[in-house]
A and B are shown apart, each in its own frame.
Chain A
Amino acid sequence: MIWNTDHWLEIWQTVRKNKLRTVLTMFSIAWGIFMLILLLAAGRGLENGIRYQFRDDAANSIWITPRITGRPFRGLRAGRPVNMTMDDYTQVAAVPGVEHITARYNLRGNFTVRYGDQFSQFPIRSVHPGHRYLEKTEMRRGRFINDRDIDQRRKVAVIGNRVVSGLFKDQDPIGEWIDINGIQYKIVGVFTDVGGPGEQRMIYIPISTGQAAYGGGRTIHRLMFTVGNADLAESQRIEKDVRTLLAERHRYDPQDPRAIRLFNHVENYQRFVALFNGIATFIWVVGIGTIIAGIVGVSNIMLIAVKERTKEIGLRKAIGAPPSDIIGLFLMESLTLTFLAGYIGLMAGIGTIELVQHLLNTIPNPPDFFRNPHVDIHAAAGATLVLVLAGVLAGLIPARRAAAIDPIVALRDE
């Protein structure tokens, strides 16, 4: 049926007969698809924007900072500081579900870092090997801090690419020694971080080295760990276990909201995922609504066409057109119209998005909340499916109406 040139000729003849009607019908469908594509791309742009805000840190992580107790507990007064140590690190690491873990011992402010006669100010973090998974640290050369560095309190440093450009110019920094506050550190690795210039100026040293060099003892200032592929409920289970463990160890009320600050990224991330899903659903609902308006339009116009063509259909039946052929004729016409129009709308939509993207790339300060809008293959395939369905739906009622025409009535002379 599809490859029968006669059918196409028949459709072409009827379409040509009613140019304006055809154009208007096609416009309503093209507009529907155009809007759907645009909405989908806009939704994607918003989603990309929000994901961009989350780009720096692992979305599946939980961060804990010790604070000061807010409630008295078991005879102990409120207002005691919670002092976390390396033992907390070891014990939390043992909690089931905890994947990569690191502690941080904070070294406040910027440090003067010198290499030969070059020097500059950089921030420093002393961390565990697991830290690279928490900050999405991307190694460019060499290695990150390892367990042996921690055990032996080695004076090694992993530096960001901006540190390299600040101190080393074109020289290979691996194996070179830098001076931080009078202590020599050997550079073992270079990294980059999507988190921006601030993260790329960072220098990482082993936490044990940092504690020893700056009088920290076994103190830690923050615990951060990832939870693998845990879903929201699982992450909350892990969160609860860790809270209980810490409350037990440091003897504070587990319900005390001020003793520690715990930030569950999974929860936050899930909330945004839910938001994206909501937006996506909304877009499909609105888009499909627009297309339904198009379908109703096509259907309506085709119904008028059937009425106008009553005599023709009656004649076709009288000279031997089987009902299936009449149905096929109208279905094919409606399918062809919707598909062609939809394709035009699809292309126009994609063209517009390309243009918007081009503009976003050229303006000096692109908005953070709206990035890289585009239509992926799924959305395009979805839209195409909707189109075919729309074509069939739009043609179905008129085609059945046409097939039901009684040639005797249709051909009766007035």
Chain B
Amino acid sequence: MIHIQQIRKSYRMGALSLEVLKGIDLTINEGELVSIMGPSGSGKSTLLNILGILDQYQEGEYHLAGTLMKNLSERKAAYYRNHYLGFVFQSFHLLEFKNALENVALPLYYQKVSRRRRNRQAMELLERVGLADRAQHMPNELSGGQKQRVAIARALISDPKVILADEPTGALDSQTSDQVMDLFREVNASGKTVVIVTHEAEIAAKTARTIHLRDGVVQNETHQVGAAS
């Protein structure tokens, strides 16, 4: 599903050039539940941005579902993000002036899906994450765990090929974190590829495979026996 070959990425800082990714090779197959770990400065956020087609890279190749993602126009990038990817963020990023249902339905708005159909699908997903009774609530009326479940529903609504989660439990207590991780595992069990960036070992332990980054290269991989998929 995700195939990365010798990806290099550096930022120019005045006269200096800071290389963040120094040749990463990575393959994630369809239906995998993978975590990416690493200390800050290891390049995991940059890698996630590249995976999410939010950032460009200078060298190497990134194939997402068999399509090369390189030097895309903003419009193309937006199209692939919308159709191929679902994002989950640490601080949820729900729109404060839209209720839960509208937040979940938003990605379909950019696919020109009619509002009736959008809202029906959004309602189905809210049921799936156990928040059907909160559909009309505004984000500030929801708890952190509920917000993140709304965000996961939003990530799922466009039926993406990959779910990318950036520290999805970073703002949650351990009990809610567990619930959210259970939800990710359930999503993964239904056949979706899920990639979670985290710095918490406990979270990584709940994924089947962990990729450890250090100084812009893949240091090693671990596989958890008994974890999902």
Q: Count B-side interface residues using an 8 Å CB cutoff.
A: 30
Interface residues of A in 317-365 (CB under 8 A from B): 317-325
Q: Is B140 an interface residue (CB 8 A)?
A: no
A319 touches B98 (CB 8 A): no
Please determine whether B110 and A6 come into contact, CB atoms closer than 8 angstroms: no
A14 touches B97 (CB 8 A): yes
Chain A residues positioned under 8 Å from B115 (CB to CB)? 5-6
Q: Is B128 an interface residue (CB 8 A)?
A: no
Using A320-B81, A322-B78, A323-B74 as known contacts, say yes or no to A312 and B95 having CB atoms under 8 A apart: yes
Partner of B81, one of A5, A311, A312, A319: A319
Name A7's closest neighbour in chain B (CB-CB). B109
Kindly identify which residue among B55, B95, B107 contacts A320, using a CB–CB cutoff of 8 Å. B107
Identify the stretch in A84-92, A240-248, A260-268, A405-413 within 8 Å (CB) of chain B at 4 or more residues. A405-413
Interface: A17 (CB within 8 A): yes
Binds A, one of B2-10, B83-91, B189-197: B83-91
Bound-state Cα–Cα, A13 to B74, Å: 26
Bitwise, B122-161 to A at CB < 8 A (1) or not (0) is 0000000000000000000000000000000010001000
Chain A residues numbered 375-414 whose CB sits less than 8 Å from any CB in chain B:
407-408, 411, 413
Shortest distance between the CB of B228 and any CB in chain A (Å): 25
A-side contacts of B96, CB under 8 Å: 17
The complex places the Cα of A382 from the Cα of B97 at a distance, in Å, of 37
Known contacts A320-B79, A323-B75; A408 and B110 CB within 8 A of each other: no
- The residues in A between 286 and 319 inclusive whose CB is less than 8 angstroms from any CB of B are 311-312, 314-319
Which A residues are in CB contact (< 8 Å) with B154? 319
Q: For B81, what are the chain A residues with a Cβ–Cβ distance below 8 Å?
A: 317-320
- Cα separation A391 to B159 with both chains bound (whole Å): 38
B-contacting residues, A1-16, CB 8 Å:
5-6, 13-14, 16
A324 to B78, CA, bound (A): 11
With A5-B115, A318-B54, A318-B87 as known contacts, state yes or no: A411 contacts B93, CB within 8 Å.
yes
Please give me the residue from chain A that is nearest to B171 by CB atom. Answer: A413
Docked CA distance A311–B106 (Å): 15
Taking a contact as CB atoms under 8 Å apart, the answer to whether B95 and A317 are in contact is: no
A321 shortest CB reach to chain B, Å? 5
- For residue A13, give the distance in angstroms from its CB to the closest CB of chain B: 5
A408 to B55, CA, bound (A): 8
The reply to whether B95 and A315 form a contact with Cβ atoms under 8 Å apart is yes
A319–B83 alpha-carbon span in the complex (Å)? 9
Please report the C-alpha to C-alpha distance between residue A320 and residue B158 in the assembled complex, in whole angstroms: 10
With contacts A6-B115, A407-B54, A413-B90 taken as known, whether A319 is within 8 angstroms of B95 at the C-beta atoms is no
One of A16, A17, A322, A411 near B110 (C-beta < 8 A): A322
Determine how close the nearest CB of chain B comes to the CB of A6; give it in whole angstroms.
6
Docked-complex contact B87 and A319, CB < 8 angstroms: yes
Give A1-36 as 1s and 0s: 1 = Cβ < 8 Å from B's Cβ atoms.
000011000000110110000000000000000000
Q: Are A322 and B75 in contact (CB under 8 A)?
A: yes
Contact B110 A325 (CB under 8 A): yes
Inter-chain contacts of B54 with A (CB < 8 A): 318, 407-408
| CB neighbours of B97 from chain A (8 A) | 13-14, 16-17
- Partner of B78 from the list A13, A14, A311, A321 (CB cut-off 8 Å) is A321
In the assembled complex, which residues on chain A have CB atoms less than 8 Å from the CB atom of B49?
A: 408
Query: Given the complex, which residues of A lie within 8 Å of B83, measured CB to CB?
Result: 320
CB of B176 closer than 8 Å to a CB of A = no
Known: A5-B115, A13-B98, A408-B49. A315 touches B93 (CB 8 A): yes
Q: What CA separation (Å) do A318 and B155 show in the bound complex?
A: 11
Contact A320 B75 (CB under 8 A): no
In the complex, A407 Cα to B45 Cα: how many Å? 13
- Residues of chain B within 8 A (CB-CB) of A317 are 78, 81
B81's nearest neighbour on chain A, judged by CB, is A320
Per a CB cutoff under 8 Å, which of B79, B87, B91, B95 touches A322? B79
Asked if B229 CB lies within 8 Å of chain A CBs, one says: no
Contact check, A311 vs B93: say whether CB atoms are below 8 A apart.
yes
- Per the bound structure, the CA–CA distance linking A269 and B8 in Å amounts to 79
Q: 7 A-B contacts, Cβ less than 8 Å apart?
A: A16-B97, A316-B110, A319-B82, A319-B110, A321-B82, A408-B49, A413-B167
Residues of chain A whose beta carbon lies under 8 Å from any beta carbon of chain B: 5-6, 13-14, 16-17, 311-312, 314-325, 407-408, 411, 413
Q: Closest 7 CB pairs between A and B?
A: A320-B82, A322-B78, A320-B110, A315-B93, A319-B107, A17-B97, A320-B81
Residues of B within 8 A of A (CB): 49, 52, 54-55, 74-75, 78-79, 81-83, 87, 89-91, 93, 95-98, 106-107, 109-111, 115, 154, 158, 167, 170
9 more contacts with CB within 8 A, not counting A312-B95, A322-B110, are A317-B78, A318-B93, A319-B87, A319-B107, A319-B110, A319-B158, A321-B82, A408-B55, A413-B170
